Amino acid sequence: MVDLPATMNASGARQLANDSANRARWQHETVLWRTSEIDPRLFPGTIVRIPDAPGYWLLRSWEWLDRGIELELERLAPGLTTARISDPGEPLPPSDLVIPDTRLAAIEVPADGNANPAASLIFAVVSAENNAWRGAALFAVQGTAMVDLGTSGSQRAIIGTLFEPLPPSRALLFEPEAKAVIELVADDIALTETSIDGLAAGANRLLVGSEVIQFVRAAPLGNRRWELSGLLRGRGGTEHSAAQGHPAQTLAVLLDDSLVALDQELVPPLPTTRIAAIGRGDSEAVLAPLVNPGLSRRPPCPVHPRQRIDPDQSRHFSWTRRARGQWRWDNAVEVPLVEERELYQIGYGPTAAPHVTWTRSEPQLSLTQPEIASLRDTHGNADLWVMQVGTFDRSPALLLALI
């Protein structure tokens, strides 16, 4: 290697490097030559030749000894052939990108079973339009004060919005022909594909509004738009949100390791919670409200409503409970309760203001024929539904029957 300031073309630089390498190869070949006398014209630094030895030698030093004069000679590198023409290559200077504004969202996601059931799963979603963005400082907005939450890091989250409405779904089976089109915040962010086995392992989870969907295929459409197909809807107990569908411009966030976990003591799961971010390209703080407050600690809706009618027209209603974060449904193993106690609220009438309510500690309710007739005479025909009462919230309602 040669370290020097120089301006030269590619061929000259290559010749200089080759000459240096050539000298390095030959300079280790030395000879100690002893003679009885020495020509006065010879002194260290002189180039000489040796009898019966090809090439030229550099006289590095000489020493008088009792039996003659000892010369230390070093072999000089032979001259190289004509320099070869070299190609300087094509320069690829980095793009001079403008530092973009920070894109921010705060989300609460369904429980995953790996965290403390009493803790809320709240994340900051921080991204930008290009990779010149190098992260942002995060804050919790508490009145007029800003509480430091640390930094986001430079990894950009995959965030966007629905480009077109996503229709409702029963969220019962894999939908191979279902599609969703989302528009991401950046051109250089990409989505990957997976398989059915990948879906079972939890790959490609996308939070759309308050629904978690999974997708198998992702195809770029240009202009930051991606078409997702092969959908599995209503994941993580979010089938009620899937049944409602989502309008265009609904927030969409890929649930991966780019999300920044937030402390619920500083960012409580309340509708009034807001966070802020300030990056190098931001002229002022970027604010975002918390989306889906309370979702991670809300019990999932019970499933599998059943009804048995006795000969005397008494009705026995039952259902199957679920638990937060327990989505694998292992065979022959009861799903953990997770909540402090098992409790259900059964209502007759509107869920917001029921005519009659019952409380049960087991997943069943029995009504005799006179009780049913009394309900109809007093309140008319109405829905009978059940909610699981959890430690922190109630589940969505499951329709048991129309009485």
**β-bridge partners, 389:** 394
* pLDDT tens, residue by residue, 202-211: 999 999 999 9
CA 45, CA 57: separation in Å to the nearest integer? 10
Strand order in the sheet with 356-360: 356-360, 344-348, 383-388, 398-402
CA 297, CA 224: separation in Å to the nearest integer? 34
Structural domains of the chain sorted by starting position, each given as residue range(s) with its CATH number in brackets: 10-75 (no CATH), 103-296 (no CATH), 303-402 (2.60.40.10)
Task: Find how far residue 379's CA is from the centre of its chain.
Answer: 51
Q: pLDDT 10s digit of each residue in the chain, 403 long?
A: 667 788 888 888 888 888 787 777 776 788 888 888 888 888 888 988 888 877 888 888 888 888 888 889 888 877 765 666 777 778 777 777 889 999 999 999 999 878 888 999 999 999 999 989 999 999 999 988 999 999 999 999 999 999 999 999 999 899 999 999 999 999 999 999 999 999 988 999 999 999 999 999 999 999 999 999 999 999 999 999 999 999 999 999 999 999 999 999 999 999 999 999 999 999 999 999 999 999 999 999 999 999 999 999 999 999 999 999 887 767 777 888 999 999 999 999 999 999 999 999 999 999 999 999 999 999 999 999 999 999 999 999 999 999 9
CA 211, CA 213: separation in Å to the nearest integer? 6
Residue 324: name the closest of 243, 261, 390 by CA: 390
CA 81, CA 97: separation in Å to the nearest integer? 46
pLDDT at 239: 94
- Sign of the CA dihedral running 191, 195, 200, 201: negative
pLDDT at 69: 87
Residue 142: CB atoms within 10 Å: 13
| Greatest CA separation for the chain | 137
pTM listed for this prediction: 0.75
CA 267, CA 273: separation in Å to the nearest integer? 7
Residue type, 131: N
pLDDT at 267: 95
- Residue 317 φ/ψ, nearest 5 degrees: -105, 140
pLDDT at 17: 82
CA 72, CA 114: separation in Å to the nearest integer? 76
DSSP state of 246: B
Task: Find how far residue 348's CA is from the centre of its chain.
Answer: 44
One-letter-per-residue 3-state SS of 13-52: HHHHHHHHHHHHHHCCCEEEEEECCCCCCCCCCCEEEECC
Tracing tokens 């010149």 back to the chain, one arrives at 132
pLDDT at 310: 94
Strand order in the sheet with 68-75: 30-35, 68-75, 53-65, 47-50
Residue 393: name the closest of 347, 336, 319, 340 by CA: 340
- Residue 54 φ/ψ, nearest 5 degrees: -75, 160
pLDDT at 11: 81
- Supply the DSSP string of 270-313, one letter for each residue: STT-EEEEEETT-SS-EEEEEESTTGGGSPPPPEEEEEEE-TT-
pLDDT at 78: 77
Strand pairing report for 344-348 and 383-388: antiparallel
Residue 279: name the closest of 133, 149, 107 by CA: 133
SS3 239: helix
- Supply the DSSP string of 118-184, one letter for each residue: TS--EEEEEE-SSTT---EEEEEEETTEEEEEEE--SPPP-EEEESSPBPP---SS-EEEEEEEEEE
pLDDT at 83: 62
